[in-house]
Structure 1
Amino acid sequence: MITEKEFYKNLKPFLNCIDYTVSEESYEVMKNEVYDMLVTSPVPSNLDKYYLSENYISHTDSKKSLFDKVYQLVKNHTLKKKLKLINSFKTEEKTILDVGAGTGDFLKVCKTGGWKITGIEPSDKAREYAESKNIVLYENLNQVENNQFDVITLWHVLEHIPNLVEYIKQLKKLLKPNGVLIIAVPNHKSFDAKHYKEFWAAYDVPRHLWHFSKTAISKLFSLVDMNVEKILPMKFDSYYVSLLSENYKTKKSRPFNAFFIGLQSNLKAKRNGEYSSLIYIIKNR
């Protein structure tokens, strides 16, 4: 079995990116050509502090800024689509584990839809928000290791995981033999990524340790004998990411420019499948 150290071998320089959210520090994004995966370097030893920002809205319900409002609007729409997706699978008991559950909104929708819910969220603040909605979350996977689930979801979470290979092994153990693993991650092969380059908001260094492609996800999960059965687009992501990227690049909101780039990205992705973010449906072989 490959170790995580293999991902750091024979890396080639790709981009130099800035942490626009917290520190303004510079990080190298390096390319592993074997996996067609990008790697953030170096990884800070105190990575937790890079999540301590009101701007990091995946852990809050903020509606203060234009970005927050757009994010919350899109989130409410996509929650319904996510529920429809998991309802499309034949399951034994309708048990679901959401990893990186944030403030619990997805699990709240699942619970209303008749699912038996379990969630993991390392952020103390996010767990407090979730508890206010009557959603109790665990801090890490070890606290649910004696369970198995029909569906496991990671919505924009895998790119944050330091111990990537071991984590994927844990996910496999937690999944029932006929269960479904759903992974959503940004796609560095998308048009908006290529357009904005080092300003592309979905690089989000150093919080995003890995930057995946279709090849990378397929090869990673084949390591644990799992197979990508289907790939679905997240079409709204190109608009939201472009809105942030415009701000990083020009120091202005420029919503019309962002909309145009987001639209272009989706139109090009209709032909090549390289949407800004992708959802992978993964099952045991």
Structure 2
Amino acid sequence: MKEFNTSKKRFKNAFRRILKEGDGYEIGEAALPAYTHKNPFIDWLFWERIKIAYNFANKHKSVDKILDFGCGSGVLSYMLAEKHYTVTACDIEFAPLELVKSKIEFPRTINFIEGDILTHNLMDNSFDIIFALDVLEHIEDLEPYIDEFHRLLSPNGIILISGPTENIFYKIGRKIAGSRFTGDYHVTNISIIKETFKKKMKIFSLTKLLFPVVLFELFTAQKNS
């Protein structure tokens, strides 16, 4: 856990420097204000999902190749590459990531892919784990992406998904946190995402943050046998 905390501190310092230099729309999209929020609960809530994913990879000793789908600011990709996983990091556009890369030197082993993953023709069975953390709620038509994840996963591969509940407590919390945390650009929620995955994959609940008032939920999905 020492490595995680060291990387967290490094990224938070970089995010603060970036926010001092400017605060455009793409910075909010990558959640930099959330990852540097002064409220300790908000700080814990956003970093906890990264920590859960990081620990999840480290518990699966046979894992080698990882896809970080919707990598955003690149935090998870960086941490996993530091642990010598083979990491592919993709996002629809890299403007926020490029700002972070101007402050932090990323491992050269990371394969960065900018643009829609559906257009990149990656090889079948390429990844042992796919992480999709707080990204699928931005996608209206999920089924083509679920099909792509199914194709890209190795036979025993796992995808870990995190997303907001969008319940009344979540919406109140976003408004209290500030105008940059309203989440108006979300087109779905974790319940709908989970039901969509159920049509094509086996799903397993992982954890909820925070029970009994659930703001975020994480679950895993695997190929049907």
| TM-score relative to the length of structure 2 | 0.69
Greater RCO structure (CA 8 Å; 6+ sep) = 1
1:160-205 deviation digits (Å, cap 9, x = unpaired): 113321111111111112100101011134x6137x3995887612
Give the whole-Å Cα distance in 1 for the aligned partners of 2:187 and 2:206.
Answer: 22
Given that 1:187 and 1:211 are in contact with CA atoms closer than 8 Å, whether structure 2 keeps it comes out as yes
Corresponding residue for residue 78 of structure 2: 108
Given that 2:146 and 2:197 are in contact with CA atoms closer than 8 Å, whether structure 1 keeps it comes out as yes
- Residue 170 of structure 2 aligns to a residue whose secondary structure is helix
1:150 aligns to 2:133 (yes or no): no
Equivalence map 1:15-26=2 (5 Å): none
Corresponding residue for residue 59 of structure 2: 88
Give the whole-Å Cα distance in 2 for the aligned partners of 1:61 and 1:203.
Answer: 12
1:124 aligns to 2:100 (yes or no): no
Identity, % of aligned pairs? Answer: 21
Which of 6, 25, 30 is 1:58 aligned to? 30
Give the whole-Å Cα distance in 1 for the aligned partners of 2:44 and 2:216.
Answer: 18
Corresponding residue for residue 279 of structure 1: 218
Equivalence map 1:227-266=2 (5 Å): 227-235=202-210, 266=211
Given that 2:205 and 2:219 are in contact with CA atoms closer than 8 Å, whether structure 1 keeps it comes out as yes
Given that 1:156 and 1:184 are in contact with CA atoms closer than 8 Å, whether structure 2 keeps it comes out as yes
Structure 2 residues not aligned, in runs of 5+: 1-22
Give the whole-Å Cα distance in 2 for the aligned partners of 1:188 and 1:56.
Answer: 18
Given that 1:79 and 1:109 are in contact with CA atoms closer than 8 Å, whether structure 2 keeps it comes out as no
Deviation at residue 82 of structure 1 after TM alignment: 2.3
1:279/1:77 Cα in 2 relative to 1: closer, same or farther (>3 Å)? Answer: closer
Given that 1:100 and 1:119 are in contact with CA atoms closer than 8 Å, whether structure 2 keeps it comes out as yes
Corresponding residue for residue 39 of structure 1: none
Corresponding residue for residue 193 of structure 1: 170
Deviation at residue 116 of structure 1 after TM alignment: 0.7
Give the whole-Å Cα distance in 2 for the aligned partners of 1:59 and 1:229.
Answer: 27
Deviation at residue 159 of structure 1 after TM alignment: 0.3
1:181 aligns to 2:159 (yes or no): yes
Given that 1:105 and 1:130 are in contact with CA atoms closer than 8 Å, whether structure 2 keeps it comes out as no
Deviation at residue 115 of structure 1 after TM alignment: 1.0
Given that 2:190 and 2:217 are in contact with CA atoms closer than 8 Å, whether structure 1 keeps it comes out as no
1:151/1:200 Cα in 2 relative to 1: closer, same or farther (>3 Å)? Answer: farther
Given that 1:149 and 1:176 are in contact with CA atoms closer than 8 Å, whether structure 2 keeps it comes out as yes
- Of the two, which has the highest radius of gyration? 1
Given that 1:230 and 1:281 are in contact with CA atoms closer than 8 Å, whether structure 2 keeps it comes out as yes
1:204 aligns to 2:183 (yes or no): yes
Give the whole-Å Cα distance in 1 for the aligned partners of 2:198 and 2:35.
Answer: 40
| TM-score relative to the length of structure 1 | 0.56
Give the whole-Å Cα distance in 1 for the aligned partners of 2:27 and 2:41.
Answer: 13
Deviation at residue 60 of structure 1 after TM alignment: 4.3
Give the whole-Å Cα distance in 1 for the aligned partners of 2:208 and 2:66.
Answer: 21
1:62/1:166 Cα in 2 relative to 1: closer, same or farther (>3 Å)? Answer: closer
